[in-house]
Amino acid sequence: MSSLERLSAYQPYALAALRIITALLFIEHGTMKLFAFPAAQMEGSLPPLMLAAALLEVIGGLLILIGLFTRPVAFILSGQMAFAYFMAHSPKSFFPALNGGDGAVLFCFIFLFIFVAGAGALSIDQRKTA
């Protein structure tokens, strides 16, 4: 058995690690908006669009974290990040490194990957099909 074949055995766990870490980072963006934790993202009440984004980040992030309804949630969150990029970042500059949108781009494509690949190991979705 080649070393590449041996590494393939860990693929579901690598996908789970990507899913879990991405979810934790994503949830943090929502908690900053909703609960000012670990720091406040903005002062005062949230505009309706930011409130919707915060709810998607916290609730969707929690669902991705535990691996429940992973594919449809990942698809929605990928779209949210594409929308956020074009609404909030791209008007500032064409280049993500200059407009602060590189995180939104990465989240968008990681969620798109999770939509295609599924939840991986250590997920409720996997337990339902096993």
Say how many C-beta atoms besides its own lie within 10 A of residue 80's C-beta: 20
* 23-117-102 Cα angle (round to 5): 50
Question: Over its length of 130 residues, how does the chain's per-residue pLDDT go in tens digits?
Answer: 788 889 999 999 999 999 999 999 999 999 999 999 999 988 888 999 999 999 999 999 999 999 999 999 999 999 999 999 999 999 999 999 999 999 999 999 999 999 999 999 999 998 876 6
Distances (CA, A) of 27 to 53, 106, 119, 127: 11, 15, 17, 23
